[in-house]
Amino acid sequence: MSNSNPKVWLITGSSTGFGRALAEAVLKHGDSLVATARKPEQLNELVNQYPETAKAVRLNVTNQTEVQAAVDTAIQAFGRIDVLVNNAGYGLIGALEEVSDEQIRRNFETNLFGAINMIRTVLPVMRQQKSGHIVNMSAIAGFSNELGFSIYGGAKFALEGVSEALYGEVAPLGIKVTIVEPGPFRTDFIGRSLDRAEHSMDEYQETVGKFLQFLDKINGSQPGDPDKAAQALIQVVNSDNPPLRLVLGKYAYSKFRKKIESLTAELDAWEQLAASTDFETAGAR
């Protein structure tokens, strides 16, 4: 495909799901790509198909040595990094009381600290270029959480908080930031990429248990199309004025809007009490 303004992408977690769909779409669009995975041999077909524009790199985002090596590979191969997509991650379902300490820490290490590692390593490159776009893959659970996703959604909430501040910090440097919030898409998230609580408790079967049943029921028939999501991301990255938040899918859009309406109603209901806690002489800033 002809592309008058080719970009260099670095995508984490490129072997399956969103990452794989986006990697294929980026290369078909005529851009260059450093695709990363824990098992880079899973990307051989992609590299063989696009030998001039695709590089595969082994990467565990919690390993700073491998993070630096991935960034160095991109610079050595293509001279720049225009787009970083923090896609690597996985889910964890279970009531807060059911999941283990190890599961909690491991999930935050990948979904939050792994993304932070990537951002902090790529930023010097983008600052020098005076351009770049950081795309952080969150989830609708990162804005409006679900029962059983206290840890997974909590990690995504934290990533969104980081992204909001980062958005303002790097805007004067020519760098853009977008948070992506998909609903249920037809990937392997519910299957291979969903860790489950080590201990199940009867007390949570009517709450977390029902949500898990719902996930298992829709697995394989999720409404979201990963290929269409990939095209949407390419469109956003090529936009002159990309959004801070990109909500993907009707389910996520509806859930996002309901959360906003609920927050507004609650804020209005408690406005008087909130205002009463200031000193009498304090003025609005």
Give the CATH number for residue 112. 3.40.50.720
Residue 268: inside a domain, yes or no?
Answer: no
In the chain, what percentage of residues exceed pLDDT 70?
94
Residue 25: inside a domain, yes or no?
Answer: yes
Residue 93: inside a domain, yes or no?
Answer: yes
The answer on pLDDT for 41 being more than 70 is: yes
In the chain, the number of structural domains is 1
Interval 137-147: pLDDT, tens = 999 999 999 99
Q: Known catalytic residue: 55?
A: no
How confident is the model at residue 177, as a pLDDT? Answer: 98
Residue 91: inside a domain, yes or no?
Answer: yes
The answer on pLDDT for 282 being more than 70 is: no
Interval 49-94: pLDDT, tens = 999 999 999 999 999 999 999 999 999 999 999 999 999 999 999 9
Residue 282: inside a domain, yes or no?
Answer: no
How confident is the model at residue 102, as a pLDDT? Answer: 96
Residue 269: inside a domain, yes or no?
Answer: no
In the chain, what percentage of residues exceed pLDDT 90?
78
Query: 50, 152, 204, 251: which one is catalytic?
Result: 152
84, β-bridge pairs: 10, 134
Structure tokens at 252: 């996520």
Query: 14, 15, 32, 138: which one is catalytic?
Result: 138
Residue 52: inside a domain, yes or no?
Answer: yes
How confident is the model at residue 284, as a pLDDT? Answer: 56
Cα 207 to Cα 193: distance, rounded to the nearest angstrom: 22
Interval 174-184: pLDDT, tens = 999 999 999 87
Residue-number span of the structural domain to which 26 is assigned: 8-254
The answer on pLDDT for 1 being more than 60 is: no
**For 263, what's the count of Cα atoms within 13 Å in the CB-facing half-sphere?**
8
Nearest to 53 by CA among 35, 65, 39, 40: 35
Q: Known catalytic residue: 138?
A: yes
Query: 7, 55, 156, 176: which one is catalytic?
Result: 156
Interval 221-274: pLDDT, tens = 575 688 999 999 999 999 999 999 999 999 999 999 999 999 999 999 999 999
How confident is the model at residue 221, as a pLDDT? Answer: 59
Q: Known catalytic residue: 210?
A: no
- What's the predicted TM-score (pTM) here? 0.93
Determine the average pLDDT of the residues in 3-13.
Answer: 90
Residue 278: inside a domain, yes or no?
Answer: no
